[in-house]
Amino acid sequence: MSNTVLTFKEYKLNNKKISMLTAYDYSMAKLMDEAGVNAILVGDSLGMVVLGYEDTLHVTMEDMIHHTRAVARGAKNTLIISDMPFMSYQTSVYDAVFNAGRLVKEGHANAVKLEGGSVVCPQIKAIVDASIPVMGHIGLTPQSINAFGGFKVQGKSEEAARQLIDSAKAIEQAGAFAITLECIPAKLAELISKSISIPTIGIGAGSGCDGQVLVYQDMLSMFSDLTPKFAKSYADIGAQMKAAFRKYIEEVQSGIFPADEHCFKIEDAVIEKLYG
Ligand code: KIV
Ligand code: NA
């Protein structure tokens, strides 16, 4: 594996930007790995973009293990970070270490990510003490959607901004190797990035972060239920897929597909014996 937690450290030191994408299956992970992305996040966004839930709250440990394993089979050079699902770490430090261990042992993740600030620092420290690298995640933390009252930009007021700054420092102190900053003002994300020695990975947090992450269905325009402002479309794959599906349907109906080159042959003599 050419990308490790040391890559994250080295990139921050050398002012190189870290690229990260989400993936949930073997084929997609392999494509991203071959393209050379530094890290793949098996995000609990799985619940929304793959499993079709309205939020991330219903994702289970079994879901995360299943999809992390698939990604791990496809990604050979990429650091694989697996999200700890809702209620797999909030309940206790013991649960956090136990479930982080499952994502590594059963899911073959290289690192885990969990949401929250100072409150989850005992969990972060304990997981790191078990030799499992941890990525923090602050700002818009989707597992808190019911507490936030929706998907909203975080850290705009002085108090909220101060809390994010303090959280970032506490997460660094707890031993995390990086922090995801989601949906916070760009200037604040830049200042937080400069104030800590571990890299920040932004999503909706501007160019001052040490790296970026996007959900692949967002960057390929494959998910239309939610279209956040920060999700740049790099290719309209959703539309291309729909066009391909329509063409296939037409060709099946008209008999154009399958053609000779898609068919298997049998000796005429065999047919003659069967049907004279
Ligand atoms: O679950 C996810 O995909 C994430 C990223 C958006 C950071 O946590
Ligand atoms: Na997530």
Classified as helix, coil or strand, 229 is: coil
141 lines ligand 1 (CB under 6 A): no
215 lines ligand 1 (CB under 6 A): yes
Counting from 1 in the atom list of ligand 1, the atom nearest the Cα of 182 is: 7
What ipTM score was computed for the predicted complex, to two decimals? 0.99
Domain parsing of the chain, residue ranges: 5-235, 240-275
214 lines ligand 1 (CB under 6 A): no
Mark the residues whose beta carbon lies below 5 A from ion ligand 2. 43-44, 83
Q: Does the domain spanning 5-235 belong to CATH 3.20.20.60? A: yes
What average pLDDT does this structure show over 86-93? 98
45 lines ligand 1 (CB under 6 A): yes
pLDDT tens digits for range 182-200: 999 999 999 999 999 999 9
- For the entire predicted model, the pTM comes to 0.96
pLDDT at 227: 83
Confidence of residue 1 (pLDDT cuts 50, 70, 90): low
Please check the confidence at residue 201 and state whether its pLDDT lies above 90.
yes
Burial 239-262, CB ≥16 within 10 A → b, else e: eeeeeeeeeeeeeeeeeeeeeeee
pLDDT tens digits for range 131-162: 999 999 999 999 999 999 988 999 999 999 99
Catalytic residues: 182
For residue 230, which phi and psi values (nearest 5 degrees)?
-80, -10
Pocket test of ligand 1: the residue of 215, 220, 222, 232 to mutate, having most ligand atoms within 8 Å of its CB, is 215
Contact 34, 41 (CB under 8 A): no
Closest CA to 209 of 222, 227, 192, 224: 192
168 lines ligand 1 (CB under 6 A): no
pLDDT tens digits for range 112-139: 999 999 999 999 999 999 999 999 999 9
Confidence of residue 276 (pLDDT cuts 50, 70, 90): confident
For residue 268, report the distance from its CA to the centre of ligand 1, in Å.
57
Chain length of the chain: 276
d(CA 37, CA 20): 6
User: Cα 93–97–98 angle (5° rounding)?
Assistant: 115
pLDDT at 112: 98
Pocket test of ligand 1: the residue of 182, 200, 223 to mutate, having most ligand atoms within 8 Å of its CB, is 182
Binding residues: 44-45, 83, 113, 115
